[in-house]
Protein backbone atom coordinates (compact mmCIF):
# COMPACT_ATOMS: atom_id res chain seq x y z
CA UNK A 1 0.00 0.00 0.00
CA UNK A 2 1.44 3.38 -0.94
CA UNK A 3 -1.40 5.89 -0.42
CA UNK A 4 -5.17 6.17 -0.72
CA UNK A 5 -6.20 7.66 -4.05
CA UNK A 6 -10.01 7.36 -3.88
CA UNK A 7 -12.40 7.25 -0.94
CA UNK A 8 -16.13 6.53 -1.05
CA UNK A 9 -18.30 6.94 2.07
CA UNK A 10 -21.98 6.06 2.38
CA UNK A 11 -24.19 6.60 5.44
CA UNK A 12 -21.50 7.30 8.05
CA UNK A 13 -22.97 9.65 10.66
CA UNK A 14 -23.92 12.90 8.83
CA UNK A 15 -22.04 11.92 5.66
CA UNK A 16 -24.81 10.50 3.51
CA UNK A 17 -22.67 10.09 0.42
CA UNK A 18 -19.19 11.27 -0.53
CA UNK A 19 -16.66 10.39 -3.21
CA UNK A 20 -13.23 11.97 -2.90
CA UNK A 21 -10.08 11.93 -5.02
CA UNK A 22 -7.15 12.25 -2.63
CA UNK A 23 -3.66 13.69 -2.69
CA UNK A 24 -0.91 11.14 -1.98
CA UNK A 25 0.83 13.47 0.49
CA UNK A 26 -1.63 15.74 2.31
CA UNK A 27 -5.39 16.26 2.44
CA UNK A 28 -6.78 19.24 4.37
CA UNK A 29 -10.41 19.43 5.54
CA UNK A 30 -11.91 22.57 7.07
CA UNK A 31 -15.35 23.35 8.38
CA UNK A 32 -17.38 24.20 11.46
CA UNK A 33 -17.96 21.93 14.42
CA UNK A 34 -20.36 19.13 13.53
CA UNK A 35 -19.73 19.50 9.80
CA UNK A 36 -18.31 15.98 9.37
CA UNK A 37 -14.55 16.55 9.63
CA UNK A 38 -13.97 14.00 12.37
CA UNK A 39 -16.32 11.56 10.64
CA UNK A 40 -14.06 11.72 7.57
CA UNK A 41 -11.09 10.65 9.71
CA UNK A 42 -13.30 8.04 11.35
CA UNK A 43 -14.05 6.51 7.94
CA UNK A 44 -10.36 5.99 7.19
CA UNK A 45 -9.69 4.65 10.68
CA UNK A 46 -12.53 2.16 10.23
CA UNK A 47 -10.82 0.86 7.10
CA UNK A 48 -7.53 0.37 8.96
CA UNK A 49 -8.83 -1.15 12.18
CA UNK A 50 -12.39 -2.36 11.68
CA UNK A 51 -13.69 -0.09 14.44
CA UNK A 52 -14.11 3.59 15.29
CA UNK A 53 -11.84 5.59 17.60
CA UNK A 54 -14.95 7.24 19.08
CA UNK A 55 -17.21 4.28 19.89
CA UNK A 56 -17.40 0.51 19.63
CA UNK A 57 -21.16 0.68 19.04
CA UNK A 58 -22.49 0.48 15.47
CA UNK A 59 -25.76 2.40 15.79
CA UNK A 60 -24.17 5.85 16.37
CA UNK A 61 -22.08 5.36 13.22
CA UNK A 62 -24.91 4.66 10.79
CA UNK A 63 -26.76 7.64 9.33
CA UNK A 64 -30.24 8.04 10.82
CA UNK A 65 -32.73 6.16 8.69
CA UNK A 66 -30.14 3.91 7.03
CA UNK A 67 -29.55 0.23 7.76
CA UNK A 68 -25.81 0.10 7.16
CA UNK A 69 -22.72 2.12 6.33
CA UNK A 70 -20.13 1.32 3.68
CA UNK A 71 -16.65 2.71 3.13
CA UNK A 72 -14.47 1.89 0.13
CA UNK A 73 -10.96 3.00 -0.77
CA UNK A 74 -8.60 2.42 -3.67
CA UNK A 75 -4.84 2.84 -3.36
CA UNK A 76 -2.38 4.37 -5.80
CA UNK A 77 -1.28 0.82 -6.66
CA UNK A 78 -4.89 -0.16 -7.45
CA UNK A 79 -5.44 -2.25 -4.33
CA UNK A 80 -8.85 -1.98 -2.66
CA UNK A 81 -10.22 -2.14 0.85
CA UNK A 82 -13.83 -1.88 2.02
CA UNK A 83 -15.92 -2.25 5.15
CA UNK A 84 -19.65 -2.54 5.73
CA UNK A 85 -21.23 -2.24 9.15
CA UNK A 86 -24.88 -3.13 9.48
CA UNK A 87 -27.41 -2.61 12.26
CA UNK A 88 -28.67 -6.15 11.77
CA UNK A 89 -25.78 -8.21 10.41
CA UNK A 90 -22.09 -8.91 10.90
CA UNK A 91 -19.35 -6.52 9.81
CA UNK A 92 -17.94 -7.37 6.39
CA UNK A 93 -14.38 -6.40 5.44
CA UNK A 94 -12.71 -7.04 2.10
CA UNK A 95 -9.12 -6.64 0.95
CA UNK A 96 -8.77 -6.68 -2.82
CA UNK A 97 -12.35 -7.96 -2.97
CA UNK A 98 -11.49 -11.00 -0.80
CA UNK A 99 -13.10 -11.37 2.63
CA UNK A 100 -10.81 -10.44 5.51
CA UNK A 101 -11.42 -11.88 8.98
CA UNK A 102 -8.20 -10.82 10.68
CA UNK A 103 -7.88 -7.42 12.32
CA UNK A 104 -4.10 -7.80 12.31
CA UNK A 105 -4.10 -8.33 8.53
CA UNK A 106 -6.26 -5.24 8.16
CA UNK A 107 -3.95 -3.17 10.36
CA UNK A 108 -0.87 -4.24 8.42
CA UNK A 109 -2.52 -3.35 5.12
CA UNK A 110 -3.51 0.14 6.28
CA UNK A 111 -1.53 1.22 9.37
CA UNK A 112 -3.20 4.29 10.88
CA UNK A 113 -2.10 6.68 13.59
CA UNK A 114 -4.91 8.83 14.97
CA UNK A 115 -4.28 12.13 16.74
CA UNK A 116 -7.62 12.83 18.40
CA UNK A 117 -8.65 14.64 21.58
CA UNK A 118 -8.33 11.37 23.52
CA UNK A 119 -4.54 11.51 23.02
CA UNK A 120 -4.34 12.97 26.53
CA UNK A 121 -5.47 9.61 27.94
CA UNK A 122 -1.93 8.34 27.36
CA UNK A 123 -1.01 10.46 30.38
CA UNK A 124 -4.37 10.81 32.12
CA UNK A 125 -5.64 7.23 32.01
CA UNK A 126 -4.25 4.02 33.47
CA UNK A 127 -1.58 1.62 32.16
CA UNK A 128 -3.98 -0.15 29.78
CA UNK A 129 -3.94 2.78 27.33
CA UNK A 130 -0.14 2.97 27.34
CA UNK A 131 0.19 -0.82 27.09
CA UNK A 132 -2.17 -0.85 24.11
CA UNK A 133 0.05 1.73 22.44
CA UNK A 134 3.10 -0.42 23.10
CA UNK A 135 1.38 -3.50 21.69
CA UNK A 136 0.25 -1.58 18.58
CA UNK A 137 3.86 -0.90 17.70
CA UNK A 138 4.94 -4.48 18.28
CA UNK A 139 2.12 -5.87 16.14
CA UNK A 140 3.54 -3.85 13.24
CA UNK A 141 7.28 -4.45 13.64
CA UNK A 142 7.54 -7.92 15.20
CA UNK A 143 5.51 -10.53 13.25
CA UNK A 144 5.81 -13.21 15.97
CA UNK A 145 4.51 -10.96 18.74
CA UNK A 146 0.80 -11.37 18.03
CA UNK A 147 0.84 -15.15 18.55
CA UNK A 148 2.73 -14.85 21.84
CA UNK A 149 0.37 -12.09 22.99
CA UNK A 150 -2.69 -14.23 22.21
CA UNK A 151 -1.23 -17.29 23.95
CA UNK A 152 -0.42 -15.22 27.02
CA UNK A 153 -3.98 -13.89 27.22
CA UNK A 154 -5.33 -17.45 26.99
CA UNK A 155 -3.13 -18.71 29.83
CA UNK A 156 -3.87 -15.64 31.95
CA UNK A 157 -7.60 -16.20 31.49
CA UNK A 158 -7.23 -19.80 32.67
CA UNK A 159 -5.18 -18.77 35.72
CA UNK A 160 -7.76 -16.15 36.69
CA UNK A 161 -10.50 -18.76 36.36
CA UNK A 162 -8.59 -21.00 38.81
CA UNK A 163 -8.32 -18.06 41.22
CA UNK A 164 -12.08 -17.56 41.13
CA UNK A 165 -12.55 -21.27 41.75
CA UNK A 166 -10.14 -21.07 44.73
CA UNK A 167 -8.22 -24.04 43.34
CA UNK A 168 -5.40 -25.60 45.34
CA UNK A 169 -1.83 -24.35 44.82
CA UNK A 170 -0.83 -27.47 42.88
CA UNK A 171 -3.32 -26.62 40.13
CA UNK A 172 -1.45 -23.38 39.42
CA UNK A 173 1.98 -24.94 38.82
CA UNK A 174 1.65 -25.87 35.11
CA UNK A 175 -0.23 -22.67 34.27
CA UNK A 176 2.29 -20.51 36.11
CA UNK A 177 5.15 -22.18 34.24
CA UNK A 178 3.51 -21.41 30.91
CA UNK A 179 2.57 -17.88 31.98
CA UNK A 180 6.17 -17.16 33.00
CA UNK A 181 7.54 -18.58 29.73
CA UNK A 182 5.26 -16.37 27.65
CA UNK A 183 5.72 -13.30 29.87
CA UNK A 184 9.49 -13.50 29.61
CA UNK A 185 9.27 -13.78 25.82
CA UNK A 186 6.86 -10.82 25.64
CA UNK A 187 9.18 -8.79 27.86
CA UNK A 188 12.15 -9.61 25.65
CA UNK A 189 10.36 -8.34 22.54
CA UNK A 190 8.87 -5.34 24.32
CA UNK A 191 12.20 -4.27 25.82
CA UNK A 192 13.99 -4.46 22.47
CA UNK A 193 11.19 -2.53 20.77
CA UNK A 194 11.00 0.08 23.52
CA UNK A 195 14.74 0.76 23.35
CA UNK A 196 14.41 1.77 19.70
CA UNK A 197 11.13 3.61 20.29
CA UNK A 198 12.71 5.77 23.01
CA UNK A 199 15.52 6.76 20.64
CA UNK A 200 13.06 7.75 17.91
CA UNK A 201 10.95 9.60 20.49
CA UNK A 202 13.81 11.87 21.50
CA UNK A 203 14.55 12.67 17.84
CA UNK A 204 10.96 13.79 17.25
CA UNK A 205 10.75 15.56 20.61
CA UNK A 206 13.76 17.72 19.72
CA UNK A 207 12.14 18.61 16.40
CA UNK A 208 8.83 19.59 17.98
CA UNK A 209 9.54 21.23 21.33
CA UNK A 210 12.00 22.32 23.98
CA UNK A 211 9.96 20.54 26.67
CA UNK A 212 12.19 17.91 28.34
CA UNK A 213 10.66 14.47 28.70
CA UNK A 214 11.86 10.89 28.86
CA UNK A 215 10.05 7.58 29.08
CA UNK A 216 10.88 4.23 30.59
CA UNK A 217 9.42 0.75 30.34
CA UNK A 218 8.07 -1.37 33.23
CA UNK A 219 7.73 -5.05 32.38
CA UNK A 220 4.88 -5.81 34.80
CA UNK A 221 6.78 -7.32 37.74
CA UNK A 222 9.87 -6.60 39.85
CA UNK A 223 9.19 -2.86 39.91
CA UNK A 224 12.17 -2.21 42.24
CA UNK A 225 14.58 -4.06 39.94
CA UNK A 226 15.65 -6.53 42.60
CA UNK A 227 15.99 -9.35 40.08
CA UNK A 228 13.23 -11.44 41.63
CA UNK A 229 11.79 -13.85 39.07
CA UNK A 230 8.17 -13.76 37.96
CA UNK A 231 7.88 -17.42 38.99
CA UNK A 232 8.78 -16.63 42.61
CA UNK A 233 6.60 -13.53 42.65
CA UNK A 234 3.56 -15.47 41.42
CA UNK A 235 4.07 -18.09 44.13
CA UNK A 236 4.47 -15.46 46.84
CA UNK A 237 1.44 -13.47 45.75
CA UNK A 238 -0.90 -16.42 45.26
CA UNK A 239 -2.81 -15.70 48.52
CA UNK A 240 -3.37 -12.06 47.47
CA UNK A 241 -4.32 -13.12 43.94
CA UNK A 242 -6.76 -15.64 45.39
CA UNK A 243 -8.37 -12.92 47.49
CA UNK A 244 -8.73 -10.40 44.65
CA UNK A 245 -9.48 -13.15 42.09
CA UNK A 246 -7.08 -11.94 39.39
CA UNK A 247 -3.37 -12.16 38.67
CA UNK A 248 -1.65 -9.05 40.00
CA UNK A 249 1.74 -9.36 38.30
CA UNK A 250 2.89 -10.31 34.82
CA UNK A 251 3.23 -8.98 31.30
CA UNK A 252 -0.40 -7.81 31.42
CA UNK A 253 0.66 -5.21 34.00
CA UNK A 254 3.39 -3.65 31.83
CA UNK A 255 3.46 0.12 31.52
CA UNK A 256 5.21 3.11 29.98
CA UNK A 257 6.40 5.56 32.59
CA UNK A 258 7.07 9.22 31.86
CA UNK A 259 9.90 10.94 33.68
CA UNK A 260 7.18 12.85 35.55
CA UNK A 261 4.35 10.98 37.24
CA UNK A 262 0.98 11.41 35.55
CA UNK A 263 -0.08 13.72 38.37
CA UNK A 264 2.97 15.95 38.06
CA UNK A 265 2.80 15.94 34.26
CA UNK A 266 -0.75 17.22 34.41
CA UNK A 267 0.22 19.88 36.95
CA UNK A 268 3.50 21.09 35.46
CA UNK A 269 2.92 20.84 31.72
CA UNK A 270 0.35 22.92 29.88
CA UNK A 271 -2.22 21.11 27.78
CA UNK A 272 -0.38 22.17 24.65
CA UNK A 273 2.95 20.91 26.01
CA UNK A 274 1.40 17.57 26.92
CA UNK A 275 -0.08 17.30 23.43
CA UNK A 276 3.18 18.01 21.61
CA UNK A 277 5.03 15.44 23.77
CA UNK A 278 2.40 12.83 23.00
CA UNK A 279 2.42 13.67 19.28
CA UNK A 280 6.20 13.12 19.33
CA UNK A 281 5.62 9.74 21.02
CA UNK A 282 3.14 8.60 18.37
CA UNK A 283 5.09 9.99 15.41
CA UNK A 284 8.16 8.13 16.68
CA UNK A 285 6.19 4.92 16.84
CA UNK A 286 4.73 5.37 13.36
CA UNK A 287 8.21 6.01 11.93
CA UNK A 288 9.20 2.48 12.96
CA UNK A 289 6.39 0.77 11.04
CA UNK A 290 7.62 -0.99 7.92
CA UNK A 291 4.94 0.46 5.66
CA UNK A 292 4.21 4.19 5.44
CA UNK A 293 1.44 5.15 7.84
CA UNK A 294 -1.77 7.04 7.35
CA UNK A 295 -1.71 10.02 9.74
CA UNK A 296 -5.08 11.32 10.92
CA UNK A 297 -4.95 14.70 12.69
CA UNK A 298 -8.25 15.92 14.12
CA UNK A 299 -8.29 19.70 14.74
CA UNK A 300 -4.52 19.89 14.41
CA UNK A 301 -4.17 23.38 15.89
CA UNK A 302 -6.18 22.75 19.06
CA UNK A 303 -4.17 23.39 22.27
CA UNK A 304 -1.00 24.28 20.32
CA UNK A 305 0.59 27.72 20.29
CA UNK A 306 1.86 29.14 17.00
CA UNK A 307 5.47 28.05 17.62
CA UNK A 308 4.60 24.40 18.35
CA UNK A 309 2.15 24.32 15.46
CA UNK A 310 4.78 25.63 13.03
CA UNK A 311 7.34 23.11 14.26
CA UNK A 312 4.80 20.30 13.90
CA UNK A 313 3.93 21.28 10.33
CA UNK A 314 7.62 21.47 9.45
CA UNK A 315 8.18 18.03 10.98
CA UNK A 316 5.23 16.53 9.09
CA UNK A 317 6.60 17.82 5.78
CA UNK A 318 9.54 15.42 6.17
CA UNK A 319 7.47 12.37 7.05
CA UNK A 320 6.85 9.52 4.63
CA UNK A 321 3.17 8.70 4.63
CA UNK A 322 -0.20 10.24 3.82
CA UNK A 323 -1.69 13.02 5.93
CA UNK A 324 -5.36 13.76 6.63
CA UNK A 325 -5.72 16.98 8.60
CA UNK A 326 -8.83 18.76 9.87
CA UNK A 327 -9.22 22.29 11.14
CA UNK A 328 -11.92 24.84 11.82
CA UNK A 329 -9.58 27.52 10.46
CA UNK A 330 -9.50 27.77 6.67
CA UNK A 331 -6.58 30.19 6.96
CA UNK A 332 -4.40 27.44 8.39
CA UNK A 333 -3.91 26.17 4.83
CA UNK A 334 -1.45 28.97 4.22
CA UNK A 335 0.99 27.26 6.61
CA UNK A 336 0.95 24.18 4.36
CA UNK A 337 1.54 25.97 1.08
CA UNK A 338 5.05 25.52 -0.26
CA UNK A 339 5.73 22.61 2.12
CA UNK A 340 3.19 20.07 0.90
CA UNK A 341 1.46 18.86 -2.18
CA UNK A 342 -2.13 18.88 -0.94
CA UNK A 343 -5.82 18.89 -1.72
CA UNK A 344 -8.20 20.94 0.40
CA UNK A 345 -11.90 20.42 1.02
CA UNK A 346 -14.57 22.43 2.77
CA UNK A 347 -17.08 20.32 4.71
CA UNK A 348 -20.57 21.53 5.59
CA UNK A 349 -23.32 19.22 6.87
CA UNK A 350 -21.49 16.17 5.54
CA UNK A 351 -21.00 17.63 2.06
CA UNK A 352 -17.50 18.01 0.60
CA UNK A 353 -16.46 20.80 -1.76
CA UNK A 354 -12.94 20.93 -3.15
CA UNK A 355 -11.38 24.35 -2.53
Cα 192 to Cα 194: distance, rounded to the nearest angstrom: 6
Residue 309 has pLDDT above 80, yes or no: yes
Cα 42 to Cα 339: distance, rounded to the nearest angstrom: 26
Query: Which of 93-116 are b and which e, b meaning 16 or more Cβ less than 10 Å from the residue's Cβ?
Result: bebeeeebeeeeebbbbbbbbbbb
Q: Is the pTM of this model over 0.85?
A: yes
The residue-averaged pLDDT of 54-64 equals 95
The predicted pLDDT at position 262 comes to 44
- Give which of 53, 64, 90, 82 is closest to 12, Cα–Cα: 64
| Model pLDDT for residues 246-296, shown as the tens digit of each residue | 999 999 999 999 875 444 555 567 889 999 999 999 999 999 998 899 999
**Mean of per-residue pLDDT scores for the chain:** 93
The predicted pLDDT at position 211 comes to 87
The predicted pLDDT at position 267 comes to 56
Residue 104 has pLDDT above 60, yes or no: yes
The percentage of the chain sitting over the pLDDT mark of 90, rounded to a whole number, equals 85
- Residue 18's pLDDT band (boundaries 50, 70, 90)? very high
The residue-averaged pLDDT of 48-76 equals 96
The predicted pLDDT at position 259 comes to 76
| Model pLDDT for residues 286-300, shown as the tens digit of each residue | 999 988 999 999 999
Cα 25 to Cα 343: distance, rounded to the nearest angstrom: 9
| Model pLDDT for residues 210-231, shown as the tens digit of each residue | 988 889 999 999 998 899 999 9
The residue-averaged pLDDT of 130-147 equals 94
- Give which of 101, 95, 66, 65 is closest to 81, Cα–Cα: 95
Cα 228 to Cα 350: distance, rounded to the nearest angstrom: 57
Residue 5 has pLDDT above 70, yes or no: yes
- Residue 133's pLDDT band (boundaries 50, 70, 90)? very high
Cα 23 to Cα 36: distance, rounded to the nearest angstrom: 19
The predicted pLDDT at position 261 comes to 42
Cross-strand partners of 29: 326, 345
**Inter-helix orientation angle 271-287/306-316, to 10°:** 10
- Give which of 248, 246, 241 is closest to 221, Cα–Cα: 248
Q: How many CB atoms lie within 10 A of CB 72?
A: 18
Q: Check if the beta carbon of residue 86 is closer than 8 Å to that of residue 225.
A: no
- Residue 333's pLDDT band (boundaries 50, 70, 90)? confident
Amino acid sequence: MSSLSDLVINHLRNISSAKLSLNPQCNFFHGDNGSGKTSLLEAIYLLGTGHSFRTREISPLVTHGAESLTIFARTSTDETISIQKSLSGPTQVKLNRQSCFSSSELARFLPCQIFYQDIFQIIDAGPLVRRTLLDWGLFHVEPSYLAVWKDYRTVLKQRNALLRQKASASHFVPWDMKLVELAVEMDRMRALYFEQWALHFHVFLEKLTNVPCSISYFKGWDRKGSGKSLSNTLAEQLPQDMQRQYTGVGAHQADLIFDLSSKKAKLLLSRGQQKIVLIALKLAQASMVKRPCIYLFDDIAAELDSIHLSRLIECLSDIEGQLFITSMDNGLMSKFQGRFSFESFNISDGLFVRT
